[in-house]
């Protein structure tokens, strides 16, 4: 291979739905297990997980056991937060709390080398993760790496047309928890104001031809979103998946002594 190829980008270009989850537990072995389960992508969560750059690099590397694309979420929309994760081999960055077209432009620039962006040259580890030399990697990275925006504030909904039309934006994910909170109605996912905000965000994202993404806690919800045109599906997050599995297991165990 003489250039960097992002299998996730290729699937999305064909209109195929892709599924993944956020990983907030700072554990490369756990990432290895999740990658082997069949996820299309995993997002190393540097926003809400206690994950430093060293652990993030090990987690990104741990996805190599399977055809699972490593992505990473930064704590804020700053190029110096994205840079080490890209240099570790992440093939996309998830940027939180995008609220304007200026925010979107900054996110795109963080994922691209000069002169079109602000990413400094220093691919010491990412090339070997993908079987390339440093200049083969850096020469094709801009076209391969995904810029993923979280639409999770009412300001983003109001500016959705300008945000989604920003050149270089690949995926826009509607994040219900923060969006409902920004409306002053945390968790009120059936509230008419929240539903109207989601519909407006969906409209703007579709109109711009950007991949529409969302969060689904169940397979049924994921399938419903796919039927509505969503193609980038985050299946809850690691802690919720673990809690759901464990609580379901414990609920099925009889904790009273049976008949003698």
pLDDT for res 258? 75
User: Residue 259: what pLDDT?
Assistant: 74
Give the Cα separation of 99 and 77 in Å (integer): 11
- Reduced to 3 states (helix: H, G, I; strand: E, B; else coil), residue 208 is helix
Q: Please report, for the chain, the start and end positions of each structural domain, with discontinuous segments joined by +.
A: 7-251
Give pLDDT, residue 53: 93
Q: Which residues of the chain have pLDDT under 70?
A: 1, 260
Asked if residue 4 has a cis previous peptide bond (ω within 30° of 0), the answer is no
SS3 of 165, please? coil
Which of the residues 2, 16, 29, 48 is marked catalytic? 48
Contact 85, 42 (CB under 8 A): no
Active site residue 153: no
Q: How many Cβ atoms are within 10 Å of 210's Cβ, its own excluded?
A: 21
Q: Rounded to two decimals, what is the model's pTM?
A: 0.95
Distance between CA atoms of 175 and 77, rounded to whole angstroms? Answer: 16
7-251: which CATH architecture?
A: Alpha-Beta Barrel (3.20)
pLDDT at 107: 98
Q: Which two tokens stand for residue 248?
A: 């379901």
Task: Report DSSP state, residue 45.
Answer: E
């Amino acid at each position: 291979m003489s250039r960097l190829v992002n299998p996730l980008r290729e699937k999305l270009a064909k209109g195929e739905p892709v599924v993944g989850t956020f990983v907030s537990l700072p554990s490369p072995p756990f990432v290895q297990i999740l990658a082997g389960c069949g996820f299309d992508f995993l997002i190393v969560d540097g926003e809400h997980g206690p994950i430093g750059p060293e652990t993030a690099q090990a987690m990104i590397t741990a996805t190599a056991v399977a055809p699972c694309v490593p992505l990473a979420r930064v704590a804020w929309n700053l190029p110096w937060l994205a840079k080490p994760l890209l240099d570790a081999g992440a093939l996309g960055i998830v940027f939180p709390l995008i609220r304007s077209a200026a925010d979107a432009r900054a996110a795109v620039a963080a994922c691209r080398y000069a002169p079109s962006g602000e990413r400094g040259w220093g691919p010491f580890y990412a090339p070997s993760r993908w079987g390339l030399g440093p200049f083969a990697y850096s020469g094709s990275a801009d076209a391969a790496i995904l810029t993923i925006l979280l639409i999770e504030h009412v300001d983003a909904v109001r500016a959705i047309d300008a945000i989604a039309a920003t050149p270089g934006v690949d995926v826009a994910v509607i994040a219900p928890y923060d969006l409902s909170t920004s409306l002053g109605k945390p968790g009120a996912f059936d509230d008419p104001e929240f539903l109207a905000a989601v519909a407006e965000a969906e409209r703007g994202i579709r109109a711009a031809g950007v991949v529409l993404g969302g969060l689904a806690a169940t397979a049924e919800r994921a399938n419903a979103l796919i039927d509505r045109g969503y193609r980038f599906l985050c299946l809850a997050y690691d802690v919720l998946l673990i809690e759901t599995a464990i609580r379901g297991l414990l609920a099925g165990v009889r904790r009273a002594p049976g008949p003698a």
